Chains A and B, each alone.
Chain A
Amino acid sequence: MKYKKQYLYSKFERFWHWTQMLLVLLLTLTGFEIHGNYEIFGFETSVRLHSASAWSFMGLALLSIFWMFTSKQYINFIPTKNKLKEQVQYYTSGIFKGMPHPTHKTLFNKLNPLQRITYAGLLILIFPVQIITGIAYMYYHYPQNPIDAEGLTLAVYAHTLGAFMVVAFVIVHMYMTTTGYSVSANVKAMISGYEKEPEEGTAKEETKTQTDKH
């Protein structure tokens, strides 16, 4: 079996990803505790941790924006219709038949068309909405200050909806990591930076049983 090994995820990108994972986990756990769904840390601790992790998240987001534009990696997140249909067909039927992935990752094409749409949605819609409503939550408490917004109910609802979307994203995202050439390949790539992919034409059925000899 021949493998193509390519360096996809830079050190910053991996740091960004795993830090963001931990922050999203912390934000979710504390957020839903504040929402009144359960008790883990205690309300006050949750509030303080939620605010603090929100700040870390925003700092990290700034760094990542800087990184995306200096490294031109933002290109990865621009949605495309190219091969979108094939990608949908792959996840809805091809994957069950062991068909090969319709798209292949390169440094400037890491994300398949479906991922591009999802991540663009996450980065352009969900995260900014969470950040803006979150800042309002922290600093724009009361209607008279400085303009009358008649309370934060709408911002709060948007923030709650965003939270549910993030949880749904995390569930699907975690599952999708298992759809690489092997169940753990994508996670390993996000750890080492290197993604190993069978050379073109190698059927999935075979690769699944391969043990990593490298």
Chain B
Amino acid sequence: MKSTLEKIASFIVVIILPALVIYLTVHFGLKRNEPEEIKIALKSETTAQVDHSEFEILKQKFVNPKDVTAACLSCHNKRDDELMKSTHWLWEREAEIPGRGKVKIGKMNIHNNFCTGAQGNNGSCMRCHIGYGWEDKSFDFNDPTNIDCLVCHDKTDTYFKQKGMAGWPATEATATKEFPVPDYNYVAANVGYPDRDNCGVCHFYGGGGNNVKHGDLEEALFHTNRKVDVHMGEDGPNMVCVDCHEAPNHNIKGRSYTVGADNTNRLHCYECHTETPHNDYILDYHNNKIACQTCHIPVYAKVNATTLYWDWSAAGKRDPNGNPIKEYDADHNYSYLSIKGHFVFDNMVQPEYYWFNGTVNHFLRDDTIKQTPVQINSLFGDYADPNAKIWPVKVHRGRQAYDPVYNQLLSVKLFAHNKGEGAFWEDLEWEEAIRQGMEYNERPWSGEYDFIDTEVYWPLNHMVSVKEETLSCKDCHIREKGRLENLNDFYLPGRDYNKLLDYSGFAIIIFSLLGVIVHAILRIF
């Protein structure tokens, strides 16, 4: 009897209890909480809209859109003051570049490696300025009626700035079928909170075409689904830009990381999603060093292709008849344009990954080239930086004109209304285009030009994927070919190991095995 009891006791302590411990360990170990649902009242759906069609002042006969602005400001007083301090108006902002001090940077003065720079190409580039007629340096930044209220607040989708007109909509004299004269009374009667058409008309087409610049902002987002953008999907929350990019006093939150050196006025996922969005310790602590975007934007340019490479040095060729050439790749994206050069476009692009602490270095307009590829901007941060996280980045690589004697990037005049005015897009002649571009920008030029490789870094923020398509552990925690294989300033479990240590460890195991085998053989024989 005693022996039976002891056997039962043994069974319990040797089998049942250990098994119970393991069961509980596995059961609670594998438990994964569900994220909490986010309930946010969207600005675009909760902001009261006024019926502007009642206002007498908007029923007057408008010829010049500046009169519309004056009418707006007659009620919305002081809004002009707000706007005239904004980056949308100034195209530059004072910012402190770590290690370089305070600088004023923006489209007003920096180079890019797309169309290379706005100044001197005002007719074309300044179409996306929120003003009327920034044709040249004479533009009056202090005249409130130069503000274009309608381009952001038109809800009729009938108001457009005309191509090549430095921000002016069509007039009786310039109207075409594509750009008719806007019906100002109709537009003014239907103004309201900006929707994605208002923002997208510029921000989706930066760089001279759809999705050329950002990669994660493009015309497919006008109407999209959750799989392309989980926030903007019409089958999802159907959010518009200003639901996140709120604009108290016209100071829009969440400015671009690409043209902004210091880490202010940013917009963060946690503002809606909290700092522990997964409700799961292991996933949430990744946010110490991994930006949300890294896992949640596994791929960008999900619909239409984005520019990955742009080689200006190939520009300027003509066909045997002396006409400019256009060539397309298999996906019907430009691969060559005489006016712009050689392109590589792609869609469904996997981002590159870099440490980024929110501050950015910029190649300022008159900087001397010290390295190739020239870093048009570069993201500060590394593993040891407490504020740095790993970010997904679109890197746009280019090859553009520089002065091999002064070692500076060149400003080029690309746009003019007519041939013979020296613009590259009209005449395909570098020398005159550079001469005029440098002259407009009041910069010295040696008279020589060549082409140099450049890189620009665009941290990705949009086209957030549905959760089923986010990255999983093994996209990074893997020995070979993980997404983070180029970030080597820290130990990443699953990827890294110390060769000496591992080889020694396996040697110890093999010697132990051999030792016991030899010992056993000697005992048997």
Contacts and interface: CB of A to CB of B under 8 A. Distances in A.
Contact of B516 (A45, A52, A56, A172): A172
Contacts of B501: 157, 160-161
Contact of B479 (A36, A52, A144): A36
Interface stretch (B17-25, B34-42, B459-467): B17-25
Which among B29, B505, B508, B513 has the greatest number of chain A C-beta atoms within 10 A?
B29
Interface string A42-53: 011101110111
Contacts of B493: 34-36, 137, 156
Contact of A36 (B14, B386, B478, B509): B478
Interface stretch (B200-208, B281-289, B429-437, B444-452): B281-289
A51 B26 CA distance: 10
Contacts of B50: none
Contact of B28 (A26, A52, A152, A178): A52
A23 B30 contact: no
Interface stretch (A11-19, A100-108, A118-126): A11-19
A43 B477 contact: yes
Contacts of B513: 171
Nearest to A18: B18
Interface string A81-115: 00000000001000110000000000000000000
A52 B29 contact: yes
A172 B515 contact: yes
Given A44-B473, A143-B384, A152-B491, A191 B509 contact: no
B519 interface: yes
A157 B498 contact: yes
Interface string A140-183: 01111100101111001100110111011001100100100000
A47 B9 CA distance: 34
Name A's interface SS: helix
B30 A45 contact: yes
Interface residues on A, range: 35 or more
A35 B32 CA distance: 22
A11 B13 contact: yes
A14 B478 CA distance: 38
Determine the interface band of chain B, counting residues with CB < 8 A from chain A.
35 or more
Interface in B463-518: 472-474, 477-479, 490-491, 493-495, 497-498, 501-502, 504-506, 508-509, 511-513, 515-516
Given A12-B13, A56-B24, A175-B516, 12 more contacts: A18-B14, A26-B25, A35-B497, A43-B473, A141-B289, A142-B386, A151-B383, A153-B490, A157-B498, A164-B506, A168-B509, A172-B512
29 contacts: A12-B13, A14-B13, A14-B14, A15-B18, A18-B15, A22-B21, A35-B493, A43-B477, A43-B494, A48-B29, A51-B29, A52-B30, A53-B29, A56-B24, A60-B21, A151-B383, A151-B491, A153-B490, A156-B491, A160-B497, A160-B498, A160-B502, A163-B505, A167-B512, A168-B508, A172-B515, A172-B516, A175-B519, A191-B14
Interface of B: 6-7, 9-10, 13-15, 17-19, 21-22, 24-26, 28-30, 32, 282, 285, 288-289, 383-384, 386, 472-474, 477-479, 490-491, 493-495, 497-498, 501-502, 504-506, 508-509, 511-513, 515-516, 519-520, 522-523
